[in-house]
C-alpha cells in the first residue's frame, strides 16, 4: 500500500475508528457473560451491548488495543510503518513521526503489536525438512538489579533458529545460492544449550516426523529418536554452512536489522524483536496487503501486557 493510499483510507482518527469497528463486526462480537453473539452498538459510548443479557464491552476490549488510550490513528500508523518498511522502525522514530510527547506509551504500543505478531506465528508449525541451529545475539549490558544483587554479566543471548526448507528442482538452482528454498522461520530465545531445552522447543514447533538438519552438537542427541530423521552437517565450517544455509542467513539478517534499527536491545525484550523479524520474513511473498492482514489479527488477538521499563 502506497503512503498516499494509506492517507486516503486511514488519514483521520474517524476513518481509523470506523475501519477498526467494521473489522470487529466482521470478526463477530461474543458476550463475555452469556456468550451471546447478537449485540447493539452504542455509538456515543463506543460500546457493544449484548442483546441477551445487556452486558457491555468497549470497542477495544478483547483486541490488541485493549487498555490503550492512544488514538486509533496512532495504532494504524504504527502498524502501517511496521509492516511496510523493510527494516522496521524504532519506537523513538515512530514517536517522532507521530509527534507524541512521551516515549513510554509508544514503546508499549510497539511491543503490543509485536506480541500479536508472535501470537499469530505461534499458530504455525514447521514441517518436512527443517534446519536447526543456535545463534548468539549481543544484548545490552544489564542494569544493577534493585534488590542489590549482582547483575547477570552475560551480554549474549542464545537463540534457537529453525527454518523449514524445500529442495529446489535442478533447473531452478542458481550458482552460489542454496539448493533449497526457505519456507517458515522460527526464532526462540534459550536459557541454555542442554538437549532437554533444545528438544522441548523443537517439539513444540516442528511437526513429527520431520527431517532435521543440524551441526550434530550435543544438544541434538535425541533428534533422530524424536523426529525420525537427523542429518548432521559435516566437514569444514564452510561445508557445514552449505548444509545449513537458511538458519545462518536468518541469523545474520536478524542481527543486522536489530542493530541497524534498535542499536541495542535488552535480553528481556530480544524475543519481541525476533518475533517481528520472523513475522515479516514469514510473509515476505505471501501478502498483497500486510497492513490488512495485521489489522485482522489486531481485532482477534489480545496483546500481551508488558512489565514496565524500556528495553
The distance of closest approach from Cβ of residue 95 to Zn ion in the complex, given in angstroms and rounded to an integer, is 39
How many residues bind to Zn ion according to rule CB under 5 A?
Answer: 8
Q: Which is nearer to Zn ion, 52 or 309 (CB)?
A: 52
Euclidean distance between CA atoms 93 and 83, whole angstroms = 15
Q: Which is nearer to Zn ion, 32 or 242 (CB)?
A: 32
Q: Which is nearer to Zn ion, 36 or 128 (CB)?
A: 36
**Interaction residues for Zn ion, span 49-108 (CB under 5 A):** 50, 52-53, 55
The distance of closest approach from Cβ of residue 28 to Zn ion in the complex, given in angstroms and rounded to an integer, is 14
Binding flags for Zn ion, 25-54, as an x/- string (CB under 5 A): ------x-xx-x-------------x-xx-
Instruction: Return the number of other C-beta atoms located less than 10 Å from residue 143's C-beta.
Output: 10
The distance of closest approach from Cβ of residue 24 to Zn ion in the complex, given in angstroms and rounded to an integer, is 16
Euclidean distance between CA atoms 86 and 281, whole angstroms = 10
The distance of closest approach from Cβ of residue 206 to Zn ion in the complex, given in angstroms and rounded to an integer, is 41
The distance of closest approach from Cβ of residue 39 to Zn ion in the complex, given in angstroms and rounded to an integer, is 8
The distance of closest approach from Cβ of residue 64 to Zn ion in the complex, given in angstroms and rounded to an integer, is 23
Q: Which is nearer to Zn ion, 32 or 201 (CB)?
A: 32
Q: Which is nearer to Zn ion, 55 or 189 (CB)?
A: 55
Q: Taking Cα atoms as reference points, which of 256, 236, 282 lies closest to residue 135?
A: 256
Q: Which is nearer to Zn ion, 33 or 143 (CB)?
A: 33
Binding flags for Zn ion, 146-185, as an x/- string (CB under 5 A): ----------------------------------------
Q: What stretch of H or E contains 165?
A: strand 156-167
For the record, the C-alpha cell of 144 comes out as 544493577
Q: Taking Cα atoms as reference points, which of 132, 97, 79 lies closest to residue 276?
A: 79
The distance of closest approach from Cβ of residue 53 to Zn ion in the complex, given in angstroms and rounded to an integer, is 3
Q: Which is nearer to Zn ion, 49 or 255 (CB)?
A: 49
Residues of the shown chain interacting with Zn ion in the complex, contacts defined by CB under 5 A: 31, 33-34, 36, 50, 52-53, 55
Amino acid at each position: 500500500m502506497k503512503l498516499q493510499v494509506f492517507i486516503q483510507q486511514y488519514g483521520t482518527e474517524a476513518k481509523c475508528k470506523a475501519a477498526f469497528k467494521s473489522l470487529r463486526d466482521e470478526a463477530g462480537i461474543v458476550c463475555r457473560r452469556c456468550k451471546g453473539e447478537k449485540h447493539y452498538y452504542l455509538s456515543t459510548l463506543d460500546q457493544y451491548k449484548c442483546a441477551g443479557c445487556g452486558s457491555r464491552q468497549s470497542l477495544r476490549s478483547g483486541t490488541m488495543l485493549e487498555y490503550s488510550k492512544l488514538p486509533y490513528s496512532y495504532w494504524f500508523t504504527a502498524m502501517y510503518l511496521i509492516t511496510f518498511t523493510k527494516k522496521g522502525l524504532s519506537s523513538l522514530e515512530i514517536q517522532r513521526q507521530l509527534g507524541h510527547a512521551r516515549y513510554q506509551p509508544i514503546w508499549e504500543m510497539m511491543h503490543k503489536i509485536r506480541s500479536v505478531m508472535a501470537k499469530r506465528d505461534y499458530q504455525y508449525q514447521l514441517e518436512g525438512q527443517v534446519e536447526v541451529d543456535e545463534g548468539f545475539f549481543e544484548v545490552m549490558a544489564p542494569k544493577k538489579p534493585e534488590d542489590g544483587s549482582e547483575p547477570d554479566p552475560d551480554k549474549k543471548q542464545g537463540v534457537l533458529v529453525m527454518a523449514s526448507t524445500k529442495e529446489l528442482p535442478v533447473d531452478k538452482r542458481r550458482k552460489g545460492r542454496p539448493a533449497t528454498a526457505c519456507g517458515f522461520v522460527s526464532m526462540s530465545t534459550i536459557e541454555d544449550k542442554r538437549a532437554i531445552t533444545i528438544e522441548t522447543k523443537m517439539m513444540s514447533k516442528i511437526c513429527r516426523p520431520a527431517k532435521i538438519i543440524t551441526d550434530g552438537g550435543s544438544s541434538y542427541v535425541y533428534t533422530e529418536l524424536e523426529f525420525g530423521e537427523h542429518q548432521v552437517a559435516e566437514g569444514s565450517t564452510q561445508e557445514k554452512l552449505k548444509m545449513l544455509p537458511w538458519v545462518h542467513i536468518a541469523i545474520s539478517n536478524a542481527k543486522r536489522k536489530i542493530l541497524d534499527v534498535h542499536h541495542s536491545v535488552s535480553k528481556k525484550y530480544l524475543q519481541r524483536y525476533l518475533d517481528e523479524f520472523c513475522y515479516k520474513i514469514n510473509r515476505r511473498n505471501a501478502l498483497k496487503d500486510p497492513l490488512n492482514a495485521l489489522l485482522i489479527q489486531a481485532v482477534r488477538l489480545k496483546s500481551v501486557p508488558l512489565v514496565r521499563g524500556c528495553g
